[in-house]
Amino acid sequence: MLARMKWIDCGREHLEAIRVIFNDAIANTTALYENEPRSRAYMVDWLEAKRAAGWPVIGLLDDDGTLAGFGTYVQFRPLEGFRRTVEHSLYLSAPYRGRGLGKQLLEKLVEHSAGRGFHVMIAMIDGENAASVKLHEDAGFQHCGLLPEAGFKFGRWLDVIVMRRMLEDQSC
């Protein structure tokens, strides 16, 4: 049984745990199309850029103080016409995967972004990540397209599935 989880706004004190989670995803999965581990300096810059732009980094903290996972979102593309469209990312620490926390974290990101007037949330998912596709389907995301061989990692080309969810605020 899982310990109680607490929602947090991740800060500098969580950067090392976030870095460990990112680096595990980089080394062992196709959830992130990067090859080099992220350094401590990179993570400081990453968080400062998020804070300066007003983007959230929402975490799930176990009652023993362990960061189980985190999620964030940013503007989909850096053009004015995309100012109300966001793309999210979420990551769980390996011991916490497969326990329903991804669903909770995704719903928290949807709720957070909808509450700030965003119109649509985009998910870009590795084509072989059936668990992530299912997670997004269950959370009300719809398939929008496939980008064949759009990424390259582990010596092979990877397809990207594009999914989206309309958010609560439908006004212009």
- Domain residue spans in the chain? 5-166
Q: Would you call 1 helix, strand, or coil by DSSP?
A: coil
Strands lying side by side in the sheet with 142-153: 5-9, 57-62, 67-75, 85-92, 120-126, 156-166, 142-153
- CATH 3.40.605.10 for domain 5-166, yes or no, is no
Distance CA 49, CA 57 (A): 11
pLDDT for 2 equals 54
What is the C-alpha to C-alpha distance for residues 29 and 94, in angstroms, rounded to an integer? Answer: 11
The helix (run of H) or strand (run of E) holding residue 21 is helix 15-28
Q: What is the pLDDT of residue 170?
A: 55
Which residues in the chain show pLDDT less than 50? 1, 172
Closest CA to 169 of 123, 117, 120: 117
Q: CA-to-CA distance for 46 and 69, rounded, in angstroms?
A: 17
DSSP H or E segment with residue 151: strand 142-153
pTM of the predicted model over 0.85:
yes
Structure tokens at 143: 């398939």
The pLDDT of residue 112:
96
How far out from the chain centre does Cα 11 lie? Answer: 16
Q: Which of 70, 84, 88, 80 is nearest to 7 (CA)?
A: 70
Of 75, 67, 89, the C-alpha closest to 10 is 67
- What is the separation, in whole angstroms, between the first and last Cα of the chain? 44
Q: What is the pLDDT of residue 4?
A: 80
Whether the CB-CB separation of 164 and 122 falls below 8 Å is answered with yes
